A = this chain, B = another copy of it.
Amino acid sequence: MKKNRKLGRGVAVVGAGMSKFGMYKDKDSKDLFAEAFNGMIASVDKGIDPNEIDALYLGNFSNDFFMHQSHWGPIISDLIGMTPKPATRTEGACASSALAFREGVFAIASGFYDMVLVGGVEEMSKRTTEEVAEGLALATVPYEGRVGFTFPGVFGAVATAYFAKYGANREHLMNITIKSHNNAPLNPKAQFPLTIRDMMNAKMESMKKKGLPAPDWQDEKAFLGDPKANPAVAWPMHLFDCCPISDGASCMLLVGEELAKNFTDDPIYVAGIGQGSGRGFHASPDMTYFEATRYAAREAYGMSGLQPEDVQFAEVHDCFSIAELVHIEDLGFFKAGEGYKAVADGATRLDGPKPINTSGGLKCKGHPVGATGVSQLFEVWTQLKGKAGKRQVPNENLRIGGAHNLGGTGGTCTFTILEKR
């Protein structure tokens, strides 16, 4: 790999919006994207004229499967009054909208366009859980899904391999779940804005009301360790290690760097973009890392000239608790095999030295797959703008944040670094 890839023209993010994530019987993909788009418009400090937008990139994994409708680029272009301007869909499984972001960056950096809207959408909850599982399995590599090695099984195997190699155990994963659930109530867009303690107490209260003997849950880990409260899905992945089924949309507005001050006095700049591809675990000598994430990180650090220690906080793809653990190591935040100890020490909490998933992560914020990548960047942008409210990272010099997005079983991974200058 050429060491330090650079863009010929810098790119800034001047607006961002997302719908509330959740399961909506009464909202469709267009409703959700409209909510994200209106939020984005309202977020631009000095305002923008939507007629100035030159092009749209839209990430969507498989509304083809979920909603029996493909070709979403022009549908969304029509929705927001952009036709006949170009609209392009990108697909990289759960990393689909991180790819849209990257193509928006390239389109501006090429000099061709000045203002590009990037975003993502997915509408999953109108299908049954079994159908959603079938749809998601389309994103595994052929050697995996066809033999039944679907996502919970794959990440269960990753956790087992990690445990065996580094001596971690389920309690270490519980630390991640508890931390994300502690952040979620502070995020008004989150699908599950409840702490584990809230849920534990509510469950005990309800059992008492029914006259049932209340379980002896001394703390959150006792709750998470009780197979009745937190049943196994694919050992050691239990219910609370897994992200939910969600509907949602997200978008961001990109402009050429030299134009950014027309829209805000404090633009957020794209410091580094990285993307990698992976073969699947049938071809991997070791299940405790993702080569595609490592490659994406090298590209992004190389472009930005930054090191892992410069990234002050990050959104990291936690489709399962173990995924967050493995990726904070792959991104270089912690040494391989050391991440679980750092998490146990509180390093990744909102008030720790390296806050991870301040949004609540996919686990609690929700994971409408095509919308996730840009929603992670929405969180990083919101933090850097100092607009994160109760979940604002308590650091007065917050300047650099990252977002890591994973698609499939590591088939597509991205890492993007945003920076306030």
* A interface list, Cβ under 8 A from B: 1-2, 5-9, 54-56, 61-62, 64-65, 68-71, 73-75, 77-78, 82-93, 99, 102-103, 105-107, 109-114, 138-142, 145, 273, 275-280, 283, 291-292, 294-296, 299, 303, 407-408, 411-412
**Cross-chain contact B78 with A141 (CB below 8 angstroms):** yes
Given contacts A71-B91, A74-B411, A82 and B277 within 8 Å (CB-CB): yes
Distance (Å) between the CB of A374 and the closest chain B CB?
A: 15
**Cross-chain contact B86 with A277 (CB below 8 angstroms):** yes
Question: Which of B62, B84, B111 lies in contact with A70, CB distance below 8 A?
Answer: B62
Given contacts A83-B278, A84-B292, A112-B7, A412 and B142 within 8 Å (CB-CB): no
Question: Which of B55, B89, B277 lies in contact with A84, CB distance below 8 A?
Answer: B277
**Cross-chain contact B74 with A70 (CB below 8 angstroms):** no
A273 to B88, CA, bound (A): 14
Question: Which of B93, B109, B111, B407 lies in contact with A6, CB distance below 8 A?
Answer: B111
**Cross-chain contact A70 with B93 (CB below 8 angstroms):** yes
Residues of B within 8 A of A295 (CB): 84-86
Residues of B within 8 A of A141 (CB): 71, 74-75, 78
A69 to B411, CA, bound (A): 13
**Cross-chain contact B277 with A114 (CB below 8 angstroms):** no
A88 to B91, CA, bound (A): 7
Question: Which of B109, B112, B140, B407 lies in contact with A5, CB distance below 8 A?
Answer: B112
